[in-house]
Amino acid sequence: MIKDIPNNEFIKIRQELDSYPANSAERSIAAQGYLLTYELPDEVSNKDLLVYFYGGQTSQRVWKWLYLIERSIPYYSSSQPEWQKRLLYFPATYIFEDYLLDKKFNYRGQEVKLLFSRHSGDHNTLHTGPNEQDAPDYYIWVDGKHIFIDYKFASVARFSNIQQVAEYYSDGKHMHNAKILLSFLEAENKFYLIDYLNNEYYPLDIPAPATYITTADNNSYQDPLAVLVEEEI
């Protein structure tokens, strides 16, 4: 069972952690310290996260623990979405990454298969602290060599067409040295391949997952710790 952090203590902890920039090492270190102090696990599986978010029976002591895990993972900029919305990104991405594994498509006249790159990290479990891996998600074999591919969800909040996605990532930011981008364009409910090696992009014949976490789903998820209540342990 996940141990509870008393409300009066959690309020002080949250005030402290929320005062740090989202990309600061100080916030990450402090959050990891509180996980250790309260003897809480330092990882959670993405499958369990989906249950916690949508199972309907998640206690606030679990949400307090998940808050600390989220706060231990630095964001890429100094400000970020609300903690629960940012945390929901991780299982939302897992749904797509797991779905795409071993999917086949045609690349420049050859049938290729998506495989996880060896250094891309643990796709099934969310670990605390900074992500030490700087590797793209997948690779494919083409003419006896591997080509790295990274995956990105193109939210309707930011992108309305694939040209915008291609332009946004054209300078290589967040691509982890990959030269090919596999993107799910939410506005069209469709997968695209953006090939920066050959300066082209096109839709893929891979159907969308039957269900996934949409931008609207994420935006509508309210902070489960906004009002703290006493619980029976």
For residue 225, the 8-state DSSP code is: T
Q: Please list, in sequence order, all residues whose beta carbon lies within 8 angstroms of the beta carbon of residue 76, skipping any fewer than 6 positions away.
A: 23, 174
Residue type, 202: Y
Going from N- to C-terminal start, the domains of the chain cover 7-88, 91-215
**66 vs 59: CA distance, rounded Å:** 11
pLDDT score recorded for residue 231 = 72
pLDDT digits (tens, 9 = 90+) for 66-88: 999 999 999 999 999 999 999 99
Of 14, 7, 89, 86, the C-alpha closest to 46 is 89
**161 vs 155: CA distance, rounded Å:** 10
| Rg of the chain, C-alpha, whole Å | 19
pLDDT score recorded for residue 232 = 60
pLDDT score recorded for residue 134 = 73
pLDDT score recorded for residue 131 = 80
pLDDT digits (tens, 9 = 90+) for 14-28: 999 999 999 999 999
pLDDT digits (tens, 9 = 90+) for 176-225: 999 999 999 999 999 999 999 999 999 999 999 999 999 999 999 999 99
For residue 199, the 8-state DSSP code is: T
pLDDT digits (tens, 9 = 90+) for 104-149: 999 999 999 999 998 888 899 999 999 877 789 999 999 889 999 9
pTM assigned to the model: 0.94
